[in-house]
């Protein structure tokens, strides 16, 4: 149950526009990773790129 609540409160995926090879974020925007585990573990990152 706690895992479901965490997923509902935090995002598990993210779409970020890229313009001229840079992240197109607003002035006050940032990307943060929220880790819910108490012990370290390996993380896997999967990228899906679309565009011209």
**How far is the C-alpha of 1 from the C-alpha of 6, rounded, in Å?**
9
Task: Provide the mean pLDDT of the chain.
Answer: 81
Q: In this structure, what DSSP letter does residue 38 have?
A: S
* pLDDT greater than 70 at residue 1: no
Q: What is the per-residue DSSP string for 6-49?
A: HHHHS-S-----EETTEE---TT---------SS----------
> Strand runs (DSSP E) across 6-49, as ranges?
18-19, 22-23
pLDDT digits (tens, 9 = 90+) for 23-41: 999 999 988 877 777 888 8
pLDDT, position 13: 77
Helix (H, G, I), strand (E, B) or coil at 2: helix
């Amino acid at each position: 149950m706690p895992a479901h609540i965490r997923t509902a409160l935090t995002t598990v995926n993210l779409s970020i526009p890229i313009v001229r090879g840079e992240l197109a974020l607003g002035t006050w925007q940032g990307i943060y990773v929220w880790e819910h585990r108490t012990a370290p573990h390996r993380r896997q990152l999967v990228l899906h790129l679309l565009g011209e």
